[in-house]
Structure 1
Amino acid sequence: MSAPLLKVNDLQVSFKMFAGEVQAVRGISFTLNKGEVLAIVGESGSGKSVTAQTIMRLTPSPPSYIKAGSILFDGKTEVTKLTEKQMQKVRGEEMGMIFQDPMTSLNPTMTIGKQIAEGLRKHQGLGKSEALERAVELLKLVGMSNPEERIGQYPHELSGGMRQRVMIAISLACNPRLLIADEPTTALDVTIQAQIMDLLRDIQQKTGTAIILITHDLGVVAEMAQRVLVMYAGKVVEQGELNDIFYHSRHPYTWGLLSSTPRLDSDRSGELYSIPGTPPDLYAPPKGCAFAARCPHAMKICRERDPEHFSISDTHSSACWLNHPDAPKVTPPMAAGGVSHV
């Protein structure tokens, strides 16, 4: 079996602030295989975007710093050890990123043609006219209308959906083997969201690019991902294949996320379920399980000791004391179709 394209091991990322240290990512580990789509889900503040930006080495330092851990790309490149100059060669050429807000991610002073061509000229050595020709081809690939005209326009002349297509074109310009999509549909309306996700799915199937998809939308996860990581308070609390998470989840936090997802086939009326409480303060993370204060099944040990990752199957693990052989039996909610309020 070939080595994974990306291997993250015990990654810890903190921010040194005036009030103390914010432990944004607290020891996460995962792998991404070539051509795979991996979804990372969780509430705001769970560490999803910091993880993605750290893989790309885009978190500002200071105040951020990699406290510990390893990010191994293609079995040979240790990303945490690269200088900024070395990392500039990796970004764009080997890894691409789609940021969550297309309204502010593009340079307002440059035409979109120049912004797409910039990476092509830097990484592939294309001349100005060749790069602009390739920019037109990329805009056609992402479904942009009138691409020959668009390359001469500025970001403010385009709609939100068009800007996001430009972002995708920039990220794909040099045929990267890894594409990180950080909530790529956040600022878009529902119809455009669907178009963008269809576009990403189509591109992934055509190019075989591996994708890390960061999202709040479990519907998008169900359509695109092969594997899912559930993050909470800077840690991975559950991970597994798509069916493991949606139909056989073994962590109360995952149950809460699934319960709070609206379903067309549900006969439930009234307000949507929401997980009670708020995430912990990462200036001073709790001693035991970070979810214990919000968990209806919390036991004494949950508040005293952080749970290990219990192996549910070869593809599925969950960091919850309920999976310990001596734990009281709790009947998990039904599969995603009928998740009860936990």
Structure 2
Amino acid sequence: MSDTILSVKDLKVSFDTYAGEVQAVRGVSFDLKKGEVLAIVGESGCGKSVTAQTIMRLTPTPPSRIKSGSILFDGDIEITKLSDRQMEHIRGSEMGMIFQDPMTSLNPTMTVGKQITEGLRKHQRITGDAANKRALELLNLVGISNPESRILQYPHELSGGMRQRVMIAISLACNPKLLIADEPTTALDVTIQAQIIDLMKKLSEQTQASIIIITHDLGVVAEMAQRVIVMYAGKVVEQGTVDEVFYNPQHPYTWGLLRSIPRLDEMGGGDLVPIPGTPPDLFAPPKGCAFAARCPYAMQVCLEEDPDHTKLTADHSAACWLLHPDAPKVERPVEAGGRKHG
């Protein structure tokens, strides 16, 4: 029996607009193991959220469309081939999602209790006292105090951290096999962020659900994930275990991400080095490496041909011409854990 819960192969997703086709996801491939926490990182607009939403078939069609590729869930369920009705049975029961802003994701006209029990009523046919009992258990599980009173409250009566905990409770209600968290800590202050990260770590250990966490915060990645995927301009440019990507990064874009975060082990935190330039226009992506225009190590071949992934270890690979045997040797500007050379 395979230990892979999700297998995404060569996924391509576009949005058809009046201005033309936006190639949001351009051939993404990765596997997720049972019980694993996988992080997807990258700048805004790199395609990480579209990838996650496409896995749950949440992108509206039109304007979005899956051009090609496969999303195989739980061994034999081809997500790209399912009807809307079939997806309704999987969403909430087999897959759960935690959205970025709970205030806009929760229904302001329904009590917290009704929103938690909605999925139970639909997918597990649990009603009445049994559903309320399960809702109380979930609120306790996510660390909300006085669940008996909270269950009767509306979202606007709760703090941001509590609302996010309610979102997590809703996503866990039917014991899903896959949980997707789309920047779950972005709208929260630093103290509450730490609490939510700690909560999700505990839940992943307790429930054994596989988790995909979408984020641009490398601190969250280091704290939660076992493996990480780095995306740029709709493609995966590097992937590996967290240790491999943090301590032995191989793509210049990954170097840039690591150099742009503050370090606690340097006096004054060290200088933050931004990545110059802007991401490419996905209406007309470049024919070569999408990062070439911003890369200080770009060669002529980078502008003309997109590099294939070079396998570095069983889990670690990167798509960069610098890894070609004939490429000039470059000393990367970050040491282990993201520290700068020099």
Q: TM-score range by the shorter chain?
A: over 0.9
2:154 aligns with 154
1:106-121 equivalences under 5 Å are 106-121=106-121
Give the conservation status (yes or no) of the 8 Å contact 1:72–1:78: yes
The verdict on how the C-alpha distance between 1:269 and 1:33 changes in structure 2, with shifts beyond 3 A counting, is closer
Partner of 1:163: 163
Shift in Å at residue 128 of structure 1? Answer: 2.5
For residues 121-136 of structure 1, what are the structure 2 equivalents within 5 Å? 121-136=121-136
User: Partners in 1 of 2:270 and 2:11 — Cα distance?
Assistant: 41
Letter in 1 for 2:16: K
Q: What letter is aligned with 2:107? A: N
Question: What are structure 1's unaligned runs of at least 5 residues?
Answer: none
Instruction: Indicate whether 1:84 and 2:121 are aligned.
Output: no
Quote the Cα distance in structure 2 between the aligned partners of 1:280 and 1:268. 33
Match of 1:36 in 2: 36
> Which residue type is aligned with residue 335 of structure 2?
M
Tell me: CA distance 1:327–1:25, structure 2 relative to 1, closer, same or farther (3 Å): same
* In 2, Cα distance between equivalents of 1:134 and 1:96: 17
Native 8 Å contact 2:2 2:75 kept in 1 = no
Partner amino acid, structure 2, of 1:90 = I
Write out aligned runs for 1:244-323 (5 A): 244-267=244-267, 271-323=271-323
Query: Percent identity over the alignment?
Result: 72
Instruction: Answer yes or no: is the 8 Å Cα contact 2:258–2:338 preserved in 1.
Output: no
**SS in structure 2 at match of 1:5:** strand
Query: Is the aligned partner of 1:70 residue 2:70?
Result: yes
**Which has the higher mean CA deviation after the structures are superposed, 122-131 or 331-340?**
331-340
1:55 alignment partner in structure 2: 55
Superposition deviation, residue 340 in structure 1? 4.1
SS of equivalent to 1:261: coil
Gaps of 5+ in 2: none
Amino acid at match of 1:336: G
Amino acid in the other structure paired with 2:105: S
Q: Distance in 2 between matches of 1:36 and 1:339?
A: 30
CA distance in 2 between partners of 1:247 and 1:127 (Å): 50
Task: Output the aligned Cα RMSD.
Answer: 1.2
Aligned partner of 2:193 in structure 1 is: 193
State the alpha-carbon separation in 2 of the partners of residues 267 and 49 from structure 1.
Answer: 35
Deviation (angstroms), 1:273: 1.1
The Cα of 1:270 is off from its aligned counterpart by 6.7
Matched residues, number? 341
- TM normalised by structure 2 equals 0.98
C-alpha contact (below 8 Å) 2:95/2:178 kept by paired residues: yes
- Cα deviation for residue 2 of structure 1 reads 2.1
Asked if the contact 1:38/1:225 (under 8 Å) is kept, the reply is yes
CA separation in 2, counterparts of 1:272 and 1:127?
A: 54
> How many angstroms apart in 2 are the aligned matches of 1:326 and 1:190?
46
| Separation of aligned partners in 1, 2:163 and 2:151 | 12
Are 1:339 and 2:340 matched, yes or no?
yes
Contact 1:121 1:128 in 2 (8 A): no
Does structure 2 retain, via aligned residues, the 8 Å contact 1:3–1:74?
no
1:11 positional shift: 0.2
SS in 2 for 1:21: strand
Q: TM-score, normalised by structure 1?
A: 0.98
Separation (CA, whole Å) in 1 of partners of 2:270 and 2:244: 29
Tell me by how many angstroms 1:339 deviates.
Answer: 2.8
Structure 1 residues 49-74: Cα deviation after superposition (integer angstroms, max 9, x where no partner): 00000000000111001010000001
Corresponding residue number in structure 1 for 2:180: 180
